[in-house]
Amino acid sequence: MGNALDCIAPMNQKEDSRYASSSAAAATFSTRPFFGGKPSLLSSSSSTNKRANNKKGLSVSFDSNDGGHDSSSTIIQEQAIAAALLFRHHQRNGSLPDFIRSTSVVYPSPGNSKKQGGLPKSSSARRRSLSDLTITPQKVVNSHQSAFVSHLGKCHMVEKFNKKKLAIESDLAKLVDQNSCFQELRIDSLETNHFVLVHGGGFGAWCWYKTMTLLEETGFKVDVVDLTGSGVSSSGTHTITSLAHYVKPLTDIFDKLEDGKKVILVGHDFGGACISFVMELYPSKIAKAVFAAAAMLSNGQSALDMFSQQMGSNDVMRQAQIFLYGNGRNNPPTAVDFDKTLLRGLFFNQSSAKDVALASVSMRPIPFEPVLEKLALSDTNYGSIRRFYIKTQEDRAISVCLQETMIESDPPERVFQLKGSDHAPFFSRPQGLHRIFLEIAQVPPKQTSSSTTTELRHLLANDTL
């Protein structure tokens, strides 16, 4: 135990002898139980000796309570003595680790601290450690604000998504309702299951490839035709001198059509003038005529008369037109072509890039003579055929205003509006165009009135007819 005291006392060699003699006189030892019955060191009986010892060095005293210690107290005391011995050992050898201590600098609070009752602010001079947090209160606030804004944005997106989802579901329900009747469509019960599709000026049979596919998949018979000098026709554009010459491939189809058979005749663009010409020639072979963004002319009117009504207001049309002079500059133009770089803005502003590319390499000049020819249309022939018109709402070649003018001039039986369609509905809205064709095909034929039937029987009986 003496060795333990010698290790604790922080004194030099000269002071050791004096300290030993004075300590021997002032300190007393008791035989109280300690460390399993061994003598234990007691504190100095005099407080004066305590202060003297504290001045000279570190003094450690352990007072034992009367009645003995339990095992836990004994362990604590042993650990405390061991720690003290280890500390003194390191202190003598100079091997104590450097403890980083910090000093605080106190800053006065701004304003009158008495009135505000605020506490002084302090700032630590200790170097910041890499493990210290660097989050400031402002960052915490900004983080919460960002999270809140993000939450609001997500809520808004979810709300928009739900609205869009409801709209899509509503549209799908409408399509299902519309298509239900088409799925139940019985081709054999229709007035006719035969469509004949006529292209517009500069186009060809190729433009109907989507519509032809949809109709054939539904069960219809479809004929598409290349008019003279159009599509894959071998005839040159400059050789066409009349409308009859231009529509010869179309009239050939009707000449070959069986007696009693009827078709639904569809014309697009300048094809509207072409089908009007054929309607006058074959009224008994045409059940219905459909004008899709087409020239629906009146008696004595030419296609040029109709197109010239909007020529002054359509700058794109004027810029795109290129007149061709097959017979020399001293003679009238024989054909009209279009600048391929302006096709999208004029005809295909809602169509896909693939369809625009197809048109740019497939379109041919329009023969000029058929455009100049005035039609002779009668109520007996042309007027006896049921007509339907399809308006294209985003059309830049034949404006909606011009389409409405033609409709008002000679109203058809029914008008359909194809929203989102440019001048080429077979490219920009093929599904919508297909649904309209199916609806027109299902329109029942007109019933002859009983009075008219009786009158006809009476005339037949009297051999008047």
At residue 58, what are phi and psi to the nearest 5 degrees? -75, 125
Catalytic: which of 194, 199, 268, 423? 423
3-state secondary structure 285-321: HEEEEEEEEECCCCCCCEHHHHHHHHHCCCHHHHHHE
Tell me the two tokens of residue 180: 């239900």
Gyration radius from the chain CA atoms: 53
- Long-range contacts: 317-323, Cβ < 8 Å, 24+? 317/346, 317/397, 320/346, 323/368
Of 173, 243, 172, nearest to 201 by C-alpha is: 243
Is the alpha carbon torsion for 123, 127, 128, 131 positive or negative? negative
Catalytic: which of 269, 355, 422, 434? 269
Catalytic: which of 238, 395, 422, 434? 395
* Catalytic status, residue 423: yes
Residue 389 contacts residue 412 (beta carbons within 8 Å): yes
DSSP 384: G
Cβ neighbours around 314 below 10 Å, total: 19
Looking at this protein, which amino acid is placed at residue 415? V
Of 205, 269, 186, 176, nearest to 438 by C-alpha is: 186
Cβ neighbours around 297 below 10 Å, total: 23
| Measured distance CA(340)–CA(364) in Å, rounded | 11
Residue 197 contacts residue 211 (beta carbons within 8 Å): yes
| Measured distance CA(67)–CA(299) in Å, rounded | 134
Of 24, 23, 40, 43, nearest to 32 by C-alpha is: 40
* Catalytic status, residue 144: no
Tokens 């999270």, residue? 147
Catalytic positions, written as ranges: 269, 395, 423
